[in-house]
Structures are given as C-alpha cells and as structure tokens.
Structure 1
C-alpha cells in the first residue's frame, strides 16, 4: 500500500517576527513607495513565498503589522496604571512618562507608526480597528470630564495635548536638535496638564 503525505507549511513565530521587523526597518529607511515583498523577504532572510504563509498580500501585511505595533504602544502607555481608579492628573502624567519610555525603547516601531499615520493607507486599512486598543484612554478622559477636572472637549483634542508634545519632541531628540532632561519633561507634563484641565 502506498501512503502519500501532504506537504504542509507551518507558521514559524521566529520567521513571523523577522518579517515584522524587516518590514518596519525598511519602511523607516525607504518609505512605502519603494518597499516590496522581495525586499522584505531579503531583509528577513526568508523566501518571498514564505511571506504569503503569514499574509494574504502587502496590504494585509501592513495592516497586521500596524495593528500589532499600535497594540504594543497602547499596552506600553497604560503599563500598570489603573485608568478607572487612579487620580486623573497622576494618570495623565504616568501615561506621558510611559509613552516617553516606549519611544526610547522602541524607536523603530515608533517611527513606523509616525510614518504610517501620515500615509493614506491608515484610513484605508485600519484606522477604526486600532481604536479599541485605546478605549481605556477615552474612558479615562470621560471620567475626568464627569469629575469636572477636564475641559468639556472631544477626547481626541484632550489626548492630543498628552501625546503630541512627547512625540514631536522625541523626533527632534532623535535628530539631535532637542535634549530631554527630567526638568524639561516635568515642564512638558505641567504645560500639557494646564492645557486640558478645567
């Protein structure tokens, strides 16, 4: 009796991570217009056909990587914070500090998010899907508004004053045109809080 075995291709977590990292690095280096599956495969040390074991196409790959990094960012910003119980001001300060730590420790991922955010692909692929990761932040803002601690403005407006001062100055820091210190960062936190408090 002849027994035939069907060849199956199994997903390897190490290869998946290599593809993720290769894509992030290449996007930061050459941008969306120049990236290709063959370049990603070469950087990751896999064959181009291997990528299709993990992703349907380039758009599917970019969407999954973007959502993966956004989720990692949201967890990094929340850390051990209890957004439902901790005092609002201390929570905002902790989030800003966690954000700064994430950026310093995950420069490639941060720059990838920034580049992706400025691409039309973010709206096409996954802007809505990433919002669920940041629900605790929105809940926290609404709680602060109900407690009459925060201005009665849209949560996106209030959160912008906590996120963008850190990210913009981080980018300047990476370029060597701005230097962070504890004194400077404390000033950023106070100015941001003054902007959103009632």
Structure 2
C-alpha cells in the first residue's frame, strides 16, 4: 500500500552523505596518485642528475686514463762513452724508460733542452709494454765550464694505443751518473 501523506523511504542514504564519501575517496586516490607520481618524477630527476653529475664524468675520466701515457726515466751509469771537444763533453749513453701506464706505448723521442744541456735520442719507434722497461740510446752534451745539473726535465714524444701522439713533459731524470762521468772527462782531458 502506498501512503501518499508520507515521503517514500529510500534504502540509500541521503544524497549529500553519499557524495561526501565519494569525494573523500576520490581525494585520497588523487593524493595517492600525486604522491606516487612525485616519487617517480624524483627518481627520474635524481637518476638523470646522478648520471650527468657523477657517472658520465667518471666514465670520461676512465677513458681518458686509458689514453694517458705515464713513464719513468732512469739514467744508465754503466753504458757511457765520453768525448771531449772544444770545452764540451759529449756522452753517448742510455736512458731506461719504464712504462708506468695502462697500455703499450711507442717512445719516439726523448729530449732535454735546458740551459747548457742538450739530450737527444734517435727518432725511432720503441714499443714498451705496460710495466716493463726498455733502454734507449741518447746523446748528452754540455760544456765543461758549466755546472752540470743533477736533475734534468725531459720531454718524451710517445704514441699511445689509440694511435695518438702525446708529449709527456716534464719527466724528471736524475743525471747524477752522467754529471760524474762528464766531470771526470772534463778534468782528465785537461
């Protein structure tokens, strides 16, 4: 029976209460979506910043390290031929070149140009494996009147594995054995 004097009883709650629940639920979903999107965007920006700020320069420095050449020089005291001519002494001797770098190098030339000192090597290729040493013939000249320096600043021209010519300078070279030999040659030849 239908009573027209009374409003109809609807089993659903009033319209305002239902819409508030849906609005709250929609707001929570939106908030959760915003939080997740913020985390994803932060991870992407952080990953990009890490790549650009740390990984890329590190990779470039590792690549640059592999193309670098590193050497040590030692004067050979035993293999010396000395000549004295017009107040200049000329030593034909050897320098031991140690490849301290990560790849094979070809030593093309060794030079020292300091006041009163000239050191030259014949220009030819000498392949030196990493961690090994090779003696290189050199000619050293300085005047008998000058004070011979014990430490020389050498310049090397090398070719690395990537077929690039590199100049390594200055490389310290202890010339004490040569200084002793040249002093003896200058005083003995009178």
TM-score in terms of structure 1 length:
0.18
Instruction: Judging by fraction of residues, say which structure has more helix.
Output: 1
TM-score in terms of structure 2 length:
0.19
Larger radius of gyration: 2
Instruction: Judging by fraction of residues, say which structure has more strand.
Output: 2
